[in-house]
Structure 1
Amino acid sequence: MGLNQEMETRLQTLIRSNQPENRMKWLKEWKAQGKKVIGLMDIYVPEEVISAAGILPWRITGSWDDSDPHAALYRPEMSCRYCSHVLESVLSGTLDQLDGFVCIPVDDDFKRLWDVLHYLKKPPMTYIMYLPHSYSELTLGMWNKSILELKQVLEDWTGKTISDDALSEQIAIYNRMRGLLRQVYELRKRPVPALTGAEALGLVTAARIMPREEFSNELEALLPYLRERRGTFRDSSCRVLVCSEYLDNPAYVQLVEDCGAAVVMDEFDTGSKYFWGQVEVGSQNPWEALGKRYMDRPGTSRMENWTEQIGQIRDWVKEYNVRGIVELRQLYSLPLAYRFLIMKKELAAANIPYVSLDREYHLAQTGMLSTRVEAFLEMIKGG
């Protein structure tokens, strides 16, 4: 096997880490060492605190099956599909090895999911954090207090103290990981990006389920190969940015690319927004520095700074030479539905082509989505 083929095999193995047949590997290995694993659903839970407690923060991917019969007993059909498919994974026993679950109140759907898990004690420890809806000096102080409350909960649960030094060590590990992913995303600015959009999503979701140092070591080893690599696109000139939240199945991004687009940037909580922004090092109070980073980086639609979020999208459009934006809004995900009206108005004012399409959490209605994406791409190609 040639060197390039060996590196390509390693890259594809990393990209496919969060596929259903692979994603439990690191959870099981961590548990085999007698350590605990906490499941997460949102990017606002500060992973560094969990890692500093010697626990693996592991992003929960819901069932990708086309039905959720167990969850349907607890949740109405017209509710957040990600939450429903996560509950399906819990109730079907897929996530029995999780020791704990920490979430934030994204909306009432997330709160009700926590209610069910807490009532069923699946997993044994469940905790819901406070998160403000806006960012100010006052709310930052409240957010920092919430992080310290999480620290106390973890210390009480594990019987171990989380020191400032332990947190600072994890901040360095996570900053390294974020810096490496930013380098990869820089390679998406090229005329022919190093990775397809589907591959980039696979890479970032891998980072969220592996021990972060192990992931960073592998990605760093692959970077020289990535700098020479060219992604496979039908048309690399039809450059689009895809927006969504709780989208963890690369097949949705692949669908857009199969229609003839090159997805060169994303606005995903499972992508760019997960790793954008570093924690300031050298601060006398690493806890406050940590809290500030989680508020400073590009926000999700759950936060109310929608104009700033759209401003970040406009910046990415320029930086990545994007010709149009495809939004894949998960059904019944209310924060994105609220932001949509402002997105539509402001992107039209900026003359940025934009289409917003509803999708399921699991891969579904691919024919309808492909037809609408193809029509949008024909429009921007002819514009």
Structure 2
Amino acid sequence: MGKSEILGIMHNAIQKPRNTYLDQWVAEGRKVVGYYCTYIPEEIFTAAGFLPYRLRGAGSDSSSEGDAYMSARVCTFVRHTISLALRGELDFLDGVVLAQNCDHIRRAADLFRKKVKPAFYGFLSIPRVPKERLFDWYLAELRRLKAEMEAHYSIAITEQNLEDAIELHNATRQRVNKLYELRKREAPPITGQEALTITVAAHVMPRAEFNSLMDDLLADLERAGGNGDYRARVIVTGGVMDEPEYLAAIEQQGALSVAEMVCFGQRSFGGPVESGPGDPLERIARQRFFQVPCARMVECFDEQFSELMKRMKEYKADGIIFQRMKFCDPWAGDAHNLYWRMKEAGIPFLSLDREYRVTAAGQVKTRVQAFLEQMGK
């Protein structure tokens, strides 16, 4: 298969809560567990024989069910996802595992437990400072989750199961990182919209099938010519972004996204889990806990900024576009910090607030065009 066909398959897989790969998995009698955040390691679900399914609001045209229980100041991403659950559109889930990622997801967790009532409900208390002194707490939470899953589903998650899951998910990371390497070219063979389609698809379909598709896609991209018809290269950063259409609205103005340091983008994968002796769950935990931190973590903005500057150099980016969901408090703090750091460094910076499931193409077009003109592009 070539690029167009593979991207078409992945595009179709992310349009609604269900997709053909998910339906086949469920038809075979296999289980699916939902989660919101990468601080909840997918490898645990894979090791149990389950499909890790990252919760999102794809296909939701209304947040009215969530609105009935939640404040209007809860972000629309959370309100749309919980609305899908309350409408029964996530009834294929055999359980959910959530955490106190932010106050908004914490409220969604309450609704899952009290109103949706999944067959299995797990909740993790994840430290907010990724420091060595708190790692044991995080690891203990993962051990508790593993034990609760084993008891509820009457299964055993062995060390070999975890090792096999590490190998499978590391294979995904290797392929995604190779995709991003190709985007460092002067004329990348893929757009930001297409890349985000790929990384979102990885979170809602079986990884073995995803990896197979990626092998064909990467082989095609290695041979493909690139697109040098752009005005500027930008890195898109910020909070949750699983809507390639929003990136398309940015790129249509001539701002080519060469990397997406967002939830559902590159930040969701990181480097490989280390192989070798020792407890595989501890190695999984270490890779996740000490990943490039997001805004839910505190005392680590300098690390986030340093990583962003490193990516700017690697991808030869001309500027930064920051996006966040309206009412997202953690990322509002980062928006403030980034604005001043970028100003001090003389780096072009655009901050966009947005609503979920609303592209707002006109507003995006105006803001991005003005941004490019300010850059002299």
TM-score, normalized by length of structure 1?
0.94
Shift of 1:234: 4.3
- Residue type of the partner of 1:153? E
> Which of 29, 38, 41 is equivalent to 2:36?
41
Instruction: Please show how residues 99-178 of structure 1 align to structure 2 within 5 Å.
Output: 99-178=94-173
> Which of 334, 342, 349 is equivalent to 1:347?
342
Instruction: Please show how residues 174-193 of structure 1 align to structure 2 within 5 Å.
Output: 174-193=169-188
Q: State yes or no: 1:375 paired with 2:370.
A: yes
SS in 1 for 2:376: helix
Q: State yes or no: 1:320 paired with 2:315.
A: yes
Deviations 1:182-223 (A, max 9, x none): 000000000111110000000001111111111111211221
Instruction: Please show how residues 46-57 of structure 1 align to structure 2 within 5 Å.
Output: 46-57=41-52
Q: What is the rounded CA distance, in whole Å, between the counterparts of 1:153 and 1:143 in structure 2?
A: 15
Residue matched to 2:240 = 246
Residue matched to 2:296 = 302
Change (3 A) 1:48 1:374: same
- Residue type of the partner of 1:290? I
- Residue type of the partner of 1:252? Y
Shift of 1:22: 7.9
Q: What is the rounded CA distance, in whole Å, between the counterparts of 2:290 and 2:65 in structure 1?
A: 38
Q: What is the rounded CA distance, in whole Å, between the counterparts of 2:224 and 2:373 in structure 1?
A: 28
Q: What is the rounded CA distance, in whole Å, between the counterparts of 2:146 and 2:57 in structure 1?
A: 27
Shift of 1:110: 1.0
Q: What is the rounded CA distance, in whole Å, between the counterparts of 2:129 and 2:243 in structure 1?
A: 29
Residue matched to 2:24 = 29
Q: What is the rounded CA distance, in whole Å, between the counterparts of 2:7 and 2:17 in structure 1?
A: 12
Shift of 1:286: 1.0
Do 2:7 and 2:197's aligned partners in 1 also have CA atoms closer than 8 Å?
A: no
SS in 1 for 2:173: helix
Q: State yes or no: 1:98 paired with 2:93.
A: yes
Do 1:196 and 1:231's aligned partners in 2 also have CA atoms closer than 8 Å?
A: no
Q: What is the rounded CA distance, in whole Å, between the counterparts of 1:280 and 1:372 in structure 2?
A: 42
Q: What is the rounded CA distance, in whole Å, between the counterparts of 1:104 and 1:233 in structure 2?
A: 42
- Residue type of the partner of 2:326? L
Aligned length: 376
Residue matched to 2:353 = 358
Q: What is the rounded CA distance, in whole Å, between the counterparts of 1:28 and 1:64 in structure 2?
A: 16
> Which of 197, 200, 208 is equivalent to 1:202?
197
Deviations 1:138-182 (A, max 9, x none): 211111111111101110111011111110111011111100110
Shift of 1:334: 1.1
- Residue type of the partner of 1:301? A
Q: State yes or no: 1:78 paired with 2:68.
A: no
Identity %: 31
Change (3 A) 1:364 1:184: closer
Do 1:194 and 1:228's aligned partners in 2 also have CA atoms closer than 8 Å?
A: no
Instruction: Please show how residues 256-335 of structure 1 align to structure 2 within 5 Å.
Output: 256-304=250-298, 305-335=300-330
Do 1:27 and 1:58's aligned partners in 2 also have CA atoms closer than 8 Å?
A: no
Q: What is the rounded CA distance, in whole Å, between the counterparts of 1:363 and 1:166 in structure 2?
A: 41
Q: What is the rounded CA distance, in whole Å, between the counterparts of 1:351 and 1:23 in structure 2?
A: 44
TM-score, normalized by length of structure 2?
0.96
Let me know the Cα RMSD of the aligned residues. Answer: 1.6
- Residue type of the partner of 2:248? Q
Q: What is the rounded CA distance, in whole Å, between the counterparts of 1:140 and 1:323 in structure 2?
A: 37
299-308 or 22-31, which deviates more: 22-31
Change (3 A) 1:231 1:209: farther
Do 1:328 and 1:358's aligned partners in 2 also have CA atoms closer than 8 Å?
A: yes
Q: What is the rounded CA distance, in whole Å, between the counterparts of 1:23 and 1:193 in structure 2?
A: 31
12-21 or 161-170, which deviates more: 12-21
Deviations 1:69-103 (A, max 9, x none): 11111112111221101011112221111111111
Q: Structure 1: which 5+ residue stretches go unaligned?
A: 1-5
Change (3 A) 1:23 1:260: farther
36-45 or 195-204, which deviates more: 36-45
Shift of 1:233: 6.3
SS in 2 for 1:70: helix
